[in-house]
Structure 1
Amino acid sequence: MATFFLVIIYLAFISLGLPDSLLGVAWPVMQLEFKAPLETAGYLFMTIAGGTIISSLASGTILKRFGTGKVTFVSCLMTAGALLGFAFAPSFVWLIICAIPLGLGAGSVDAGLNNYVATHYKAHHMSWLHCFWGVGATISPIIMAQSISEQNSWRQGYFVIAGIQFALVVILFFTLPLWNKVAKNNNSIASEKSEESKSALYNNTKPLQIRGVKLALVSFLFYCGVEATMGLWGSSFLVNVKDLPVASAAKWVSFYFGGITIGRFFAGFITLKVSNRTIIRVGQITALAGAGLLLLPLPSSFSLVGFIMIGLGLAPIFPSMLHETPTRFGKEHSQTIMGYQMAVAYTGTTFIPPLLGFGASHLSIGIFPFFLVLFAAAMLLGSEKLNVLLNKEQKVEY
């Protein structure tokens, strides 16, 4: 039963990735239909991200009250309805309105599923979980591209994705009783002596007052800064600095995303033998080395190596840091802290790439690798300081 239930969670994470890459693919056609300026896509993105940040921050309270299963069901229902709203939106204003539940639905289910897997399953499942998010984020542009090319309709693409989401909503509805049952089974099997003592120590402590939480948040902020900055500005760097054709630059950026997805798949096997802490450290050093490679005045082919190194390095970091949350800070507050981490992660994704864009508009896109090195170094520094703190307090056993 636990295996079947894990498949349901994987399907939920595929659905979580489905909407994430739709807007960028569909916007060139949507823009023409709504006669909207190019930059208005940014308003939609910010609305979705704002809703996600808010629901992530509130997820601890919401999930404790209603449970992960119910919140996942309602959140997926909200995102399915929002996507359907996109498909029938008569104006740009309606897109903004539909973007609100799309963002709110994503935040709670993201934090809830991450904490559920971190609490009840081993580390390799967390890596594979985020690999399946990549599957969803890869499938949706294919569906949208086919809808646009065959029927010249971006609305049909949103309609199909909404249909997939509603199908998942039905599955989640009929599996609601399994959530508590599987959680109880896992808890009865697992040994929780050290966890109980940790929860007792933290029982009267507010989550943000627990030592090390803020350092963990720093790591999440700069991780997402590196990941999103690579995705948004990598192609511009290759075209304007390395003089690559646009098509070649796009292909190289796809290798970066491929490195993340494939890296997470293989990281799941590596976690069977290697601790999360070691995987995080190696990944951060690899990403930093890849960013450093982009700084050097080498032939453009070395930039491809740098992009792949950054992708492979980033691959295991995010899921491994999420899986460490209950171990680092105790199950008593892990759900709330998970929500904080997701909120900070979305904050980094939303605001750090535009910061580089602002700097590049006044200087040059040539600052791209310097920013990457700075963000990757800050991520590594925050993570290592957290390790030192946890070692001193002997809260984590490796």
Structure 2
Amino acid sequence: MALIGLSFFAIGLPEALLGASWPAMGGGLHAQLASVSFIAIVICAASVASALFARRIVRRLGMGNTVVCSVVVAAIGCAGFAFADGLSWLLVFAVPYGAAAGLLTASLNAYIAPRYAARHIDWLHATTAAGATGGHAILGAVIALIVTLVPFPGSWKHAAGPILLGLGCAPINPAVVHLVPRIYGVANTATVIGLQTAAIYGGTLITPSAFGIIAHYHSTSFLPWYLAIFTASTIMAGLATRRQLHVDGTDGGSQGAGR
């Protein structure tokens, strides 16, 4: 369990560092601010591809070897980011980093889903958030946040929205991972979680770009409505899952296992 938790922590550690470090990194490489979106696209595309093939890779290499290889490949990608001297090299090293992230996420989730209780899955996913927080702390994001919030009365209101969004979104992924074996059966867990992981990275790739187009032609003031659309979709998906599992009083596990 401790080793799995450490792996999830490692997934989160570099997760959001690209955006936080790009003002300094991009300036040093004389790259435009928009260039970071191309790197993110490559990372997400590589993650989607590796997540879709995660089950086959685990079958061939085994779980332990898959995790070790993913960590090594991710380390190569991160080291490449550190030593890259141009945007083209960043795009090259985005491929192994993204592929390792997608494969590690899909394979670990497929491993823990049928083996651990929901509370254990929650804690394991919490370590990913802890890793992401730690990564930001390394860059001094905590200090920047304090400097930003303290001098301006009322600025806490600007932080309240992201905090509430984070609290609302955090339980969704571990809850879905926990339900996969119950709905689709243990034999299909790895395949379904691979598809889910690919969908997550695909959404990470598509939804910011879609809003960028909306903001370009209209206004960023549409953001609350944009988020409301996804909130409503999530609620409807949750209600549909609730009806399928009959969690309002009966156990639907035996029915879901054959679907």
Regarding TM over 0.5, the answer is yes
**TM-score using structure 1 length:** 0.57
Pairing of 1:123-202 with structure 2 (within 5 A): 123-145=118-140
Runs of 5+ unmatched residues, structure 1 = 1-5, 150-243, 256-303
1:327-342 matches, cutoff 5 A: 327-342=182-197
Distance in structure 1 (CA, Å) of the matches to 2:162 and 2:40: 25
CA 1:247 to 1:395, structure 2 compared with 1: closer, same or farther past 3 Å? farther
Q: Which residue of 1 aligns with 2:174?
A: 319
Could you say which residue in structure 2 is the equivalent of 1:379? Answer: 234
After TM superposition, the structure 1 = structure 2 runs for residues 1-398 of structure 1, keeping only pairs within 5 Å, are 6-145=1-140, 304=160, 307-391=162-246, 395-396=255-256
What is the rounded CA distance, in whole Å, between the counterparts of 2:61 and 2:91 in structure 1?
A: 28
Deviations 1:302-352 (A, max 9, x none): xx3x55443322221111111111111001110011000000011111111
Q: Which moved more, 1:362-371 or 1:96-105?
A: 362-371
Residues 25, 145 of structure 1: 8 Å contact kept: no
Measure the CA separation in 2 of the matches of 1:86 and 1:11: 22
CA contact (8 A) 1:57 1:340 kept: yes
Structure 1 residues 337 and 122, CA gap change in structure 2 (3 angstroms): same
> How far apart in 2 are the matches of 1:245 and 1:89?
36
The equivalent residue for 2:249 is: none
Counterpart residue type for residue 91 of structure 1:
G
- Relative distance call for 1:380 and 1:69 in structure 2 (3 A) is same
Partners of 1:45 and 1:247 in 2: CA distance: 32
CA change 1:316–1:91 in 2 (3 A) is: same
Structure 2 CA distance, aligned partners of 1:246 and 1:321? 40
Q: Which is higher, the Rg of structure 1 or of structure 2?
A: 1
CA change 1:307–1:24 in 2 (3 A) is closer
Question: Structure 1, residues 92-120: CA drift from partner, whole Å, max 9, x if none?
Answer: 21111111000000111101111111111
CA contact (8 A) 2:113 2:189 kept: no
Question: How many pairs align?
Answer: 246
User: Could you tell me the TM-score, scaled by structure 2's length?
Assistant: 0.86
CA RMSD, 1 decimal: 2.6
Distance in structure 2 (CA, Å) of the matches to 1:332 and 1:385: 23
SS at match of 2:27: helix
Aligned-pair identity (%): 32
What displacement does 1:367 show? 1.3
- SS of residue in 2 equivalent to 1:395: helix
Q: Which runs of no fewer than 5 residues in structure 2 stay unpaired?
A: 247-251
Structure 1 residues 310 and 32: CA distance shift in structure 2, 3 A: closer
Range that drifts further, 88-97 or 68-77: 88-97
Secondary structure at the aligned position of 1:20 is classed as coil
Q: CA deviation at 1:386?
A: 3.4
User: For residues 249 and 94 of structure 1, do their structure 2 counterparts lie closer, same or farther at Cα, with a shift above 3 Å needed?
Assistant: farther
- Contact 1:60–1:337 under 8 Å retained in 2: no
